[in-house]
């Protein structure tokens, strides 16, 4: 009997934050209270990625395929978060990065990041 293949990562969403565990043992985690920016990355032939960043540009990359209603519901707690803007960016047919939310008190600039 063959089961489903092992996914390359797991994403856990809690009231405290988001954590992504990779198959190689590495972990990315970010507390909701530290999130200052949410980006959507679209690329042809690839999963859409949500990138949550803190003030230092550190963050957590969350593949859309690993999200559920809990993740989307928790994003709504960010001040003035627009779920329609997130959906529009994630459904885009254009490759690119879109900032869909910034904290009302963001740092002066966040770096461009590479993602998996």
* Whether the Cβ atoms of residue 38 and residue 100 lie closer than 8 Å to each other: yes
Q: Tell whether the model's pLDDT for residue 113 goes beyond 60.
A: no
Mean pLDDT, range 63-87, rounded to an integer:
93
Q: Name the more confident of 86 and 115.
A: 86
User: Residue 36: pLDDT band by 50, 70, 90 thresholds?
Assistant: very high
Stated pTM of the model: 0.83
9-102: CATH number: 2.30.29
Domain ranges in the chain are: 9-102
């Amino acid at each position: 009997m063959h089961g489903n293949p092992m996914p390359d990562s797991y994403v856990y969403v809690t009231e405290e934050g988001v954590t992504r565990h990779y198959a190689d043992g590495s972990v990315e985690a970010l507390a909701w209270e530290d999130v200052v920016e949410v980006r959507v990355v679209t690329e042809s032939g690839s999963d859409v990625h949500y990138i949550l960043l803190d003030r230092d540009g550190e963050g957590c990359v969350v593949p859309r395929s690993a999200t559920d209603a809990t993740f989307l519901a928790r994003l709504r707690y960010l001040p003035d978060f627009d779920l329609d803007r997130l959906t529009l960016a994630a459904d885009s047919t254009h490759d690119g990065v879109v900032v869909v939310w910034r904290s009302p008190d963001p740092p002066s600039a966040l770096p461009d990041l590479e993602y998996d």
